[in-house]
Amino acid sequence: MRDDNQFKRKTYQVSQQAILLALINKHFSIALMLPKKRAITGRQFLCVKTIKNGNDVIEIDNFVHQRMKEYNNYATSIGIPMKTITRRGENNRIVENIHILLDILVELGYHFQTKVSTGKNYSLKFDTIKSFQLGKFSFNKNTIGQKGILINSYLNNLIATNNNRGQTVIVEKNDVNIEKFLLTGF
């Protein structure tokens, strides 16, 4: 059985990803894919294929896969057992996914207060968003957690209702529902 701290951490990672996608949606349309495996006990982490604005396309899924290959090669070269590399794989994929979304938003001018995990025994370091400002609105861990769950549920419902055998679901730029979830309640 999963321990409570691990469950809370995974839930917060899902919330962070949803908030980051909501911010990215102000600038890009987002292509989401049906995940390879579904979450049963916790929230579903979203599988982002691409983000697109006009001719600018960023292949998030391909980037994350490439980074995972690089990490796995590095980990193998320094003697980390394959069993450990495999066990860390899913968490590392989540970490890389959040890192690229954060990097894109920083390039777009957003500022986040983050706490970086220690990354013990050559595991990837993870940025936890503590707070950020969006215009006159301040987001802290509580609002990120609450609003992130709403946005994640909305996006997962879009995937579930519109996805047919691996088809990609497009969330158009400036989706009004995402904006509503992001800014309602302040």
Between CA 98 and CA 16 the distance in angstroms is 8
Residue of 126 and 183 predicted with greater confidence: 183
Tell me: the pLDDT tens digits for 11-62? 999 999 999 999 999 999 999 997 766 655 568 899 999 999 999 999 999 9
- In percent, the amount of the chain with pLDDT more than 70 equals 90
Write down the pTM of the prediction: 0.90
Residue of 118 and 66 predicted with greater confidence: 66
Tell me: the pLDDT tens digits for 118-160? 766 667 777 899 999 999 999 999 999 999 999 999 999 999 8
**What Å distances lie between residue 145 and 2, 11, 20, CA to CA?**
20, 8, 12
Average pLDDT over residues 160-181: 87
Q: Give the pLDDT score at 164.
A: 62
- In percent, the amount of the chain with pLDDT more than 90 equals 70
Q: Give the pLDDT score at 162.
A: 79
**What Å distances lie between residue 12 and 49, 65, 96, 114, CA to CA?**
21, 22, 15, 13
| Coil/strand/helix, residue 96 | helix
Average pLDDT over residues 84-102: 91
For the cut 70, the answer to whether the pLDDT of residue 109 exceeds it is yes
Confidence of residue 166 (pLDDT cuts 50, 70, 90): low
Q: Give the pLDDT score at 1.
A: 45
Structural domain total, the chain: 1
Average pLDDT over residues 154-181: 89
CA atoms within a 13 Å half-sphere pointing along the CA-CB vector of 31:
14
Between CA 31 and CA 58 the distance in angstroms is 10
Averaged pLDDT score across all residues of the chain: 90
Print the domain residue range for 113: 4-183
